[in-house]
Structure 1
Amino acid sequence: MAIDTVRRGPSARKASRSLLAYAGILAVVGIFIFPFLTMITTSFKLPTDVFTLPPALLPETWTFENFGLALEAMPIDRYLWNTIVVASLSVIGTLVSCPLVAYALAKFEWRGRGVVFFIVLATMMLPPQVTMIPLYLVFDTVGLTGTIWPLVLPTFFGTPFFIFLMRQFMMNVPDDLIAAARLDGASEFRIYWSIVLPLAKPALATIGIFQFMWAWTDFLNPLIYLNDEANYTLSLGLYNFFSENGIAWGPLMAASVVFTVPALIVFLIGQRFFLSGLATSGLK
């Protein structure tokens, strides 16, 4: 019996540590998910149920009135369409530009490649406040301020973080595979399009999801460049609604749900590719 007790000791301690680890994970998940659940339940509450003592997570009476009030107070459909357009074009620009630059940095041997890659990495250290005014002056000079193009065009010139991510992934593509394709007479663009990009689907999905989230939730750039309400994105529309209507918590939370759910759906759909892309891109 003493031997059995000794044998069960380590396994019991291991089980206890596992239970404590799972309990800690659940506690952290609860902390992060609680504001999201509060937002959803508040969007279905009556004004008299928003602040009650003691506080209640679930409403006493469920109502969809807040969604109707939010739709009446601001054109959510137009804001939603503008946000979809900006996010979609940003994703397209990212998927067009970043893999091309990454392929040149990963699979081409040319003088100064290391210097260019160092410059790309160095630009990641610049805070956006440094480039904010020069970029605004450039777009104002060409007459694009007040439109959605300043929110979209920079993505067609590459994003340093995404270039780095794609380059790390493409470094893992076998050089022998590319050399064999060159011996068969394939052009560089054919190799890039038919061999490298299909292998890089997880990384492409990763940068696509990242860019979609950034464009969807971006507030600062729309605030700087957009001055016509017809071009407002959802983030700027929510801010405008808040400033005009004060703290109408029910409609505000209803509008926030409309703002949050599409991005959450996109992330859940692409989660498998997202995690796979991170695991195979050198960011472990």
Structure 2
Amino acid sequence: MATIRIRRNRRWNRSLAVDLLLFLALAGVGAFMVLPLLFVVSNAFKPLDEIFLFPPKFFVRYPTLRNFTDLYYLLSSFWVPYTRYIFNTVFIAVAGTAGHVILASLAAYPLAKRRFRGRGALFTIVVLSLMFSGHVTAIPNYMTMSWLGLLDSYWAVIVPALGSSLGLFLMKQFMEQMVPDALLEAARIDGCSEYRIFWRIVMPIVKPAWMTLVIFSFQGLWGAGGTGKIYIYSEQLKTLDHALGQILAGGIVRTGPSMAATLLMISVPIAIFIISQSNVIQTMSTSGMKD
């Protein structure tokens, strides 16, 4: 029996060769996943003849900034200034993301740390709502925005984003796992109000979760030009994604500017992810922890 226990407690150490093979395998998978991004960057600097070259070349041979200058002139030719499209996009993304994070956190706190009748049923409804895609809820959302009188405004895009159930689910699960009840009880004994506990104790602890939610929400709203077309009709209220879509509709001649526009559109979400990636990794690593 002692021999069996020793064998069970024995630790298996990987050799240097195995570690090297694992590193090479992960590096290969990572390089394969980054290839589409490199291809987008390369196409943005290709002249028109290289873009349509067959067989296509992965890397640009004669880089040029002509695509970006043509994109600037095309955006400047619109009767609505391109800065207006940029402002609309930034405002919708920032306002929708901030509102979604705050509302989801405020709603998740009582579901995670308070006991009341109907708590389980409410959370079940939240989980069930995750099963419906945006295409299924498009018509009900449109009818709701029309009933509220919010069509053809920023809020027609922002308000549906505020009610997304993904943020509520993420924040509720993370608060249950990472915020100990004993800490909250100690704060209440010291005389802290629930709002002070929420803002001064709970939110700093769950920072990795709401930073992850910021990335997901901002990414969805940054590219919400297709969804915005359903609710917004005035040209001066439309987003940058809509303006770039008008450029793509110009045909083959505008392929170069469209490549540059694609790079610019994905650069902002990627930059936000790079800045916040440590919090995302921490969220994923602790999502399976239990007390």
Using structure 2 for the length normalisation, give the TM-score: 0.85
Q: How far apart, CA to CA, are the structure 2 residues paired with 1:280 and 1:134? A: 36
Indicate the percent of aligned positions where both proteins have the same amino acid. Answer: 34
Per the alignment, residue 103 of structure 1 pairs with: 109
Q: How far apart, CA to CA, are the structure 2 residues paired with 1:67 and 1:147? A: 30
Q: 2:131 aligns with which of 119, 122, 125?
A: 125
What number of residue pairs does the alignment pair up? 273
Q: How far apart, CA to CA, are the structure 2 residues paired with 1:28 and 1:279? A: 20
Q: How far apart, CA to CA, are the structure 2 residues paired with 1:122 and 1:54? A: 47
Distance of aligned partners of 1:124 and 1:36 in 2 relative to their CA distance in 1, 3 Å threshold: same
Report Cα offsets for 1:139-179 as digits up to 9, x if no partner.
Answer: 123332222211111333x4212111111111131111111
C-alpha deviation, 1:71, in angstroms: 1.3
1:143 matched to 2:144? The reply is: no
Q: How far apart, CA to CA, are the structure 2 residues paired with 1:53 and 1:129? A: 37
Q: How far apart, CA to CA, are the structure 2 residues paired with 1:244 and 1:45? A: 19
What's the C-alpha RMSD, in Å, of the aligned pairs? 2.4
Per the alignment, residue 166 of structure 2 pairs with: 161
C-alpha deviation, 1:61, in angstroms: 2.5
One-letter code aligned to 1:30: A
Q: 2:256 aligns with which of 232, 237, 250?
A: 250
Gaps of 5+ in 1: 1-9
Greater mean deviation of Cα atoms: 230-239 or 251-260: 230-239
Please list, as runs of the form range in 1=range in 2, the aligned pairs for 1:123-272 lying within 5 A after superposition: 123-156=129-162, 158-171=163-176, 172-246=178-252, 248-272=254-278
One-letter code aligned to 2:156: P
Report Cα offsets for 1:201-220 as digits up to 9, x if no partner.
Answer: 11111111111111112343
4+ runs of 1 displaced by more than 6 Å?
none
C-alpha deviation, 1:87, in angstroms: 0.8
Using structure 1 for the length normalisation, give the TM-score: 0.86
Is the CA contact (8 Å cut-off) linking 1:219 and 1:235 kept in structure 2?
yes
Q: How far apart, CA to CA, are the structure 1 residues paired with 2:191 and 2:27? A: 56
Q: How far apart, CA to CA, are the structure 2 residues paired with 1:36 and 1:247? A: 23
Q: How far apart, CA to CA, are the structure 1 residues paired with 2:100 and 2:205? A: 18
Report Cα offsets for 1:20-63 as digits up to 9, x if no partner.
Answer: 44444333333332222222122222222223355333333322
Is the CA contact (8 Å cut-off) linking 2:215 and 2:269 kept in structure 1?
no
Q: How far apart, CA to CA, are the structure 1 residues paired with 2:181 and 2:25? A: 44
Is the CA contact (8 Å cut-off) linking 1:206 and 1:278 kept in structure 2?
no
One-letter code aligned to 2:127: L
Greater mean deviation of Cα atoms: 85-94 or 240-249: 240-249
Is the CA contact (8 Å cut-off) linking 1:103 and 1:170 kept in structure 2?
yes
Q: How far apart, CA to CA, are the structure 2 residues paired with 1:254 and 1:196? A: 42
Greater mean deviation of Cα atoms: 57-66 or 256-265: 57-66
Per the alignment, residue 3 of structure 1 pairs with: none
Distance of aligned partners of 1:118 and 1:81 in 2 relative to their CA distance in 1, 3 Å threshold: same
Please list, as runs of the form range in 1=range in 2, the aligned pairs for 1:80-95 lying within 5 A after superposition: 80-95=86-101
Is the CA contact (8 Å cut-off) linking 1:82 and 1:233 kept in structure 2?
yes
